[in-house]
Structure 1
Amino acid sequence: MSVVLLAEDDPAIAMPLSRALQREGYSVQVIEDGTQALHAASDGGVDLLVLDLGLPHMDGLEICRRLRAQGRGLPVLMLTARTDEVDFVVGLDAGADDYVAKPFRLAELMARIRALLRRNAPENLEIGGVRLELTARRVIVDEHEVQLANKEFELLRVLMQHAGEVVTREDILEEVWPEPGRKGSKTLDMHISWLRRKLSDSNGSRLDEQRIATVRGVGFRFNTD
């Protein structure tokens, strides 16, 4: 489970954003003070820092500069109420990986968070006899390469990155079919069926449903054993 440190002193932003992150399956730590946020980010155990620019005692720019001076490669998504292009440039120069202006759309912010976490995720995933090579976009099942279409690959990536957890239909559709007018549940079910068939053992010794389980009324789970 990825750990997100949310450094935001406005409860009207911090509380709903924290709940949204938890619904996505992240572990969230909320800190309202800049000095404490720097200490928490420096201590390790954090996968992403969502950092408000205007924190008390130490602002987001200084926190970011100090983290980079320490050699910390922790991905940083900076939040600010300022909209001047100069402020965006200053934030990126301070070491932020991405920058979102308030007020923001929650869906856009969550998409950027997922993108930053993917950037720092392992290049390969190997679970239950399935090896997913993200950079090469290759899938190896029981030592045999399997050819997947683009959406099948993205679907498998989402499920394997949350292996052992139930991923809801809504979350899968948002992640794999983010474009406007995206396809609905019938398309998802069809792709799940194709993916199961391709991941099945060639000799039939392992049923495809064992790898990708249906959780009725909720979504799907990639089993780890």
Structure 2
Amino acid sequence: MKKHILLLEDDYELAQTLQELLEESGYSVDMVHNGNDAIDASYDNKYDLYIFDINVPDMSGLELLESLRNADDKTPAIFISALIDLNSISKAFEIGADDYLKKPFFPQELLIRVNAKFSQAQEEIIEYKNLQYFVSKKELYIDEKIIPLGEVQECLCDTFMRNIGNVLDKSILMDCLLQPSDTALRVALSKFKNLTGVAIKNIRGVGYILEKS
């Protein structure tokens, strides 16, 4: 699955150049040119990385990232800016930026930093049939679309996806329930199977197993 990047840059020519370079390198890039469009895009989509200019219309890149961080959005962010004063750079890192690239720069330098960021953030991904489970984020995707999981379903998903092919004792699965009981477990497992389309087999008297595909 391609890494999804939101690029905010009001210089149309530079934005186009960066978008083409990143897409040629295998990334999926949404390009916007003002703060309001960036806010809308960030709320409508899930991104793996933000690349923000600072001096853009509507709101600055600094204000944008600060509002996202206040909304508990922890998506990594790289600033690209002509501002080279220490106050701007300090503010950028203070509000949660991961990197700061001063303009002018060679587009290839941004690509190097993006590649480095993703190589640092490599995480375990468990694939099962048409499912992808991102272990550290506890996020489940079906056919590359994220599936919202409640607390119980998230726990069951994590437990089964980490133990594909292993029989799980009922007591382990009970720990996922808010009010453990045999009935509650059956209901939760039924919901999980309907949500994901996977077949969980009951080994009578032993436990449950998500069999290897």
Question: What interval of TM-score do these two structures reach, taking the shorter chain for normalisation?
Answer: 0.5 to 0.7
Q: Give 1:14's aligned residue.
A: 15
The answer to whether residue 69 in structure 2 is matched with residue 68 in structure 1 is: yes
1:55 Cα deviation after fit: 1.2
Q: How many residues of Structure 1 are paired with residues of Structure 2 in the alignment?
A: 127
- Match for 1:5: what amino acid? L
Percent of pairs identical after alignment? 34
Per the TM alignment, residue 66 of structure 1 is displaced from its structure 2 partner at its CA by: 0.6
CA offset digits 1:52-104 (Å, max 9, x no partner): 10110011011100110011110110111011222111111121111101001
Which residue is 1:84 aligned to?
85
Normalised to the residue count of structure 2, the TM-score between the two structures is 0.56
Structure 1 CA distance, aligned partners of 2:26 and 2:36? Answer: 27
Distance 2:127 2:105 in 1: 36
Distance 2:6 2:125 in 1: 25
Equivalence for 2:58: 57
Q: CA deviation at 1:125?
A: 7.3
Match of 2:120 in 1: 119
Distance of 2:93 and 2:47 partners within structure 1: 20
Aligned-pair distance for 1:116? 1.8
Which residue of structure 1 lines up, in the alignment, with residue 29 of structure 2? 28
Distance, in Å, in 1 between the alignment partners of 2:15 and 2:67 is: 23
Mapped partners of 1:107, 1:18: distance in 2: 12
Query: SS at 2:100's partner residue?
Result: strand
Aligned residue for 2:47?
Answer: 46
> Structure 1 counterpart of 2:24, which letter?
R
Which blocks of at least 5 consecutive residues in structure 2 are unaligned? 129-213
How big is the shift at 1:126? 7.7
Q: Distance in 1 between matches of 2:106 and 2:116?
A: 16
Instruction: Check the 8 A contact 1:42/1:72 in 2, yes or no.
Output: no
Shift of 1:4: 1.0
Distance 1:70 1:37 in 2: 14
Q: Aligned pair in 2 of structure 1 residues 119, 38: CA closer, same or farther (>3 Å)?
A: farther
Q: 2:70 & 2:49 partners in 1: Cα distance? A: 17
The alpha-carbon deviation at position 45 of structure 1 amounts to 2.0
RMSD: 1.8
